[in-house]
Amino acid sequence: MRWTEIYSKSKSDSGFSLVETLIATFIFAIISAMAVALISNYQTSRLGLQSADERLAQLQTARAVMRDDFFSVVNRPVRDQFGAMLSAFEGGQHMGDGIKLRLVRGGDAGAKLNGTVSQVKRIDYMLIDGNLTRRTYVRPDTVPGGRYTDQRLLEGVEAAELRYASDGIWSDEWGTNAAISPVPRLAELSLRFLGGQEMRMTFVVGAPT
C-alpha cells in the first residue's frame, strides 16, 4: 500500500476538526435558543389566553348580577344607622367610603322561600382596593352591627363611574334632587382597568310598568 493511501485513510478516520466542532456547536446553540423562544412564546400565549378567558367569565358574571339588581330595583326608602331616611336609589361623587351606588331591590326568591330574611335588600356597589365589590345587607335598614356580605365582582379596576338617565336626560348624580324621579330608567357603568382597557355597560332600572 502506498504511503499516500495510508495518509489519506488516517486523515479520514481522525474525526471532526476543531473548526467543524465549533460550527456544529454554534448551529446547535442557535437551534436550542430558537426552541426555547418558541416554547416561551407558547407558554406566554397560553397564559394570556387563560387570563383573557378568566376576565371574560368574570365580566359576564358581573354583568348578569348587576343586570338582575338594576332590573329588580324597588322604590323603597331605607334608614341609616341614625334613623335618617335614605333614597331607594342613590349614586354619585357625593357618596363616601368608596360607595359608587346604593340601591334597594326586591324579588329575592330564596328569602321568600325560607321566610326568615327580608325579600327587600339594600345593595351597595363599591370600589375597594381596585375591586368592584357588591355589598349586600341582610336588612335594608341599617342598624348598628348590621350584617352584610361582600362579593368581589371585578378585579383590577382603576376607576368606576356611573351616570343615570330619566326622560332622556343624563346625570352623574342621583338621589339628591327630590324634583326628579326617585328611580332612573337607565344606568350606565364605565370601567377603566389597570391595564388601560375600558368598558361601558348600560342597564334598565326597574321592571317596565
Q: What is the pLDDT of residues 3-56, one digit of tens each?
A: 445 445 544 555 567 777 777 787 877 887 777 777 777 666 665 556 667 878
Of the pLDDT bands very low, low, confident and very high (cuts 50, 70, 90), residue 80 is: confident
Please state the separation of Cα 101 from the chain's center in Å: 17
Is residue 173 within 8 A of residue 94, CB to CB? The reply is: yes
Query: pLDDT digits over 9-20, tens only?
Result: 544 555 567 777
pTM, entire model: 0.70
The rounded mean pLDDT for the chain is: 80
Helix (H) or strand (E) holding 105: strand 99-105
State the cell numbers at 38: 418558541
Burial class (CB in 10 A: 0-12, 13-18, 19+), 80: exposed
Backbone angles phi, psi at 168, to 5 degrees: 80, 0
